[in-house]
Every structure is written in C-alpha cells, then in structure tokens.
Amino acid sequence: MHADENLLKIKHEVLYEVAKLAFEGTLDEKKDDIAMKLIPGPNPQFRCCIYKEREIIRQRVRLAEGKAPGPEDDGNVIQVISSACADCPISSYTVTENCQNCIGKACINACKFDAIESGRHRSHIDPAKCKECGQCAKACPYNAIAHLQRPCKFSCPVDAITYDEHGISVIDEKKCIRCGQCIHSCPFGAIASKTFIVNVIEALKSGKKVYAMAAPATEGQFGADITMNSWKTAMKELGFEDFIEVGLGGDMTAAYEAEEWAEAYKKGKKMTTSCCPAFVNMIHNHFPQLNDNVSTTVSPMCAVSRMIKAKEPDAVTVFIGPCIGKKSEVVDQKIESNADYVLTYSEIRAIMKAKDVELKPEENTYQESSIYGKKFAFSGGVTEAVLQSLKESEDQIDAKVCKANGAAECKKALMFMKAGRLPEDFIEGMACEGGCVNGPCSFKKPNLSRKSRNTLLAQADKREIHENLKNYDMDSFSMHRE
C-alpha cells in the first residue's frame, strides 16, 4: 500500500468523475455535483467537517479541468489547493517536552525578535514573531527546540516554496522547476497539478486523429505482461488513431545530440542534455548564464510528436508518462510541434475507466525503439545512448560525462559549470533520482517495477540506433528547437 493511499483514492475518484462527465458532455452542468457525490455526509471522512472536504473536492475538480484551484492563476501547472493546506504548523521551530524550563533561559537570550517567552512548564515560541533564524535551537543545551520543516518545502530542490501569513504554502512560479516532488511529499494532498483530461477527451470526441505516445518509463510499471502491445490495443480501443512508444524519440534524440556533443567537444565547449524538462527549467530559472550550453536537440516526446505531425499536420499528440515537468514543456516552453497534451498514468487510467477500457496482457512484439532509446528512462541512459550513437557513426570522442542523478546533483553540477570548474565535458541531468522511472507520478516505484522492466527489456530487439532510424524519414522534420 502507498503511504498516501487515501490521498490517491480521492484524487483518482475526482479524475474519474470529471472524465466520465466530459465523455457524456455534461461536465459544465454536473461538475458541482461531484463534491456532494464523493462527500455525502453527514460525517466527515478525512477533515474537520464535510464542508471543508467538499471545498477541497471542488478545487480538485478545477485542477482536473486544467484550471487553477482558486480565482488567481499564475500559469504554473503545479498549484496549491488552499483549502487543503492549513494543517501544517506555521512555525517551523517548536519547543518539545525535552525543555527543562531552566533558569539560564539560553533560548530567550538568543532570540533577537522577542519571539520566545517562559511558560509554566516550558518555553513557548510565538509563531507570529518568529523569524525562523534558528538561534534558539542552537542555544538550547537540552536540544529541546525542534526544527519542523514542512514536507513540501523540504522536498523542493530549489527553495521555491514559502508560506503566507495564514500558513498556506506559496509556490514561487519564477523559481519552480515543475519537478513535482512537492506533490507527493504533502501528507494532506494540498499540492497538485492541472490536467489535460478534458482537452484530450474533447479531442477524442472531435473526430480528429489523436495519437498516444508513452514514455520509455512505462515498461514495467504495470507488470511484465503489460507490454507496449497492451498499450497500443487499449489506446486504439479508447479512440486514439494510433500509439507510438517514445523510446523511438530517444533514438532520435541520441543521434542528433551525439552530433552536437562531437562538435562541442572539438570546440572545447561544455554542454548539457535537454530531455528532462525539470532539469532544463532549473537552468532557465536558476542558471540563465548556461542557457547557451543546453543542447538544442528536442526531447524524445517532441521528436515523436514532430514525426507524427510531419505526416499528419492536423494530428493531436498526447504524451503519457510519470512526469509533471512534461506538462510544463508543452505549456511553458512552447516548442513548435511539441506534444499538444500530457497525461500522467493516473490521468490516462481515469479516462480508460470512464470508457471501460483496460490494459490486458499481450505478447511483447511491438518494438519501435532500440534498447538504447528505452534506457532513456534511467539515470545514465541518455549518456549510454549518445555514446553508442557516436560509436556507430565512427565519430567517437573521449568524452567525460557527469551523470547528475537527482535535482541535488543537477544543481551541484550546474554550479561547477557556472564557475568554470566542471571537470567533465558534458552533464546529463535527471531531476528525479534514478531517472524517469522514479518520476513523481510513477505507478510503481523502481524497486517494485525493476523485475518486470528487466524482463521486458530482455525481450527487446538489440538493433542499433542508426539501424533503427533507417526505417523513418528523419529529413521530414527538424530535431532542433525552433
């Protein structure tokens, strides 16, 4: 069972109800009924009262529609559900029972803001006056003052989360890299992302040719018997024109990024990868001096979308995967001919449930990607694919690559590059530790899906990248950001 099993249940129920009404064409008229249906009362299920619970559901419905939960919208795909974010302690410093109410009062003497006073049994911190400098905790000889960081704030790798005077978390849109780590760290489910569920359903109902594209991380998420063939069958049953695995885009990205690496290496220029949107957002928002060092090759998602649209200019492309950052790639970066919409696994499953479509076991015979494209899902997989492409093109270089695994390592590597002290030639940046397989919206975490994934990868065709790409017209579209 997930640690946040109850939160997931609520989230999935809302997504399903929205998807069902969107297919029926009655969402606008009946969406206000969802809160009453899920929280019938009279007793609350998980909060202080049914009225607060219903307001949380209403705000989740708005997110499912692709809107901000409240009247104000800063454009960020990640949003705070204000009605759910009110139960964390406002002050991050609190006096514990270890306090001996000592005569020395080192904590009171250390505070420059008059925020601590002596109580009957222990000292007390006034959260309205506390500036969270931490001097009281350092001064206490009994270690009786604890630093309680909010899970969302603690999980944010770029310090983009603060909170207002009411204790509601606030995400700084200009700092946020859209990695999504805060979403599942919040035990109250108070942070979530906007969805494209309604957009995708409307596209499916419109008669347009809508294509589904699944991330390489998809393999193994639902067991060894749920193959890319399983996805292709289910997506066609759902109404998609066709389905393509994005590992193919990994092959494309590797081939073109290899050319960039070789050229940069000969010029003595250091570069970074460009396939992880949260990593690219980190560069844009926190290391803008390094924007010119980012590879101009588009992500695998964008590559497959461009391939589809080169053949079908009016096609609608939908990416499916475990990543929140991919939503920002289509909303924020606005790269031409990129995917139109992005769905997480829970979102596509809500759409499938609304139409009674299931993923069913099938043979693992659909292989549009090389094994290297599939490995884009792992930390280090992009490097392996690019070096393999260089090997195949006989343009090998003695490149040293920093495989930055997780946002903390990405930040450290970029700081070295900014200072001109990066020992390696290139940085492969993955904001999620372990790679996309550990994305914030994974169905199963890597330790639970590894065996199934290894089984599926063992069955994959071992053809090389360039050999695989001969089957596709790579001259019909651009692989570089416009």
pLDDT in tens, the chain (482 residues): 344 677 788 999 999 999 999 999 999 999 999 999 999 989 988 888 999 999 999 999 999 999 999 999 999 999 999 999 876 766 678 899 999 989 889 999 999 999 999 888 899 998 888 888 899 999 999 999 998 888 899 899 999 998 887 778 999 999 999 999 999 899 889 999 999 999 999 999 999 999 999 999 999 999 999 999 999 999 999 999 999 999 999 999 999 999 999 999 999 999 999 999 999 999 999 999 999 999 999 999 999 999 999 999 999 999 999 999 999 999 988 888 999 999 999 999 999 999 999 999 999 999 999 999 999 999 999 999 999 999 998 887 889 999 999 999 999 999 999 999 999 999 999 999 999 999 999 998 888 899 999 999 999 888 899 999 999 999 999 999 87
Contact between 53 and 43 under an 8 Å Cβ cutoff? The reply is no
- What is the DSSP pairing of strand 271-272 with strand 123-125? unpaired
| 270 touches 418 (CB < 8 A) | no
Spell out a b/e string for 206-238, using b for 16 or more CB atoms within 10 Å of the CB, else e: eeebbbbbbbbbbbbbbbbebbbbbbbbbbeeb
Helix (H) / strand (E) element for 152: namely helix 151-155
Per-domain residue ranges of the chain: 5-86+159-194, 93-147, 198-476
Between 3.30.565.10, 3.90.550.10, 3.40.50.300, 3.30.70.20, what CATH number should domain 93-147 receive?
3.30.70.20
Spatial separation of the C-alpha atoms in residues 144 and 140, rounded to whole Å: 6
**In contact, 251 and 469? CB cutoff 8 Å:** yes
* 249 close to 303: Cβ distance less than 8 angstroms: yes
Strands 93-95 and 210-214: unpaired
Query: Model pTM?
Result: 0.92
DSSP letter assigned to residue 376:
G
| CA–CA separation, 152 and 218 (whole Å) | 26
Q: How far is CA 314 from CA 23, 232, 305, 330, in A?
A: 22, 21, 11, 17
DSSP assignment string, 235-291: HHHHT-SEEEETHHHHHHHHHHHHHHHHHHHHHT--EE--S-HHHHHHHHHH-GGGG
DSSP one-letter code for 438: G
Pick the CATH number of 198-476 from 2.170.260.10, 3.40.50.2300, 3.40.950.10, 2.40.370.10: 3.40.950.10
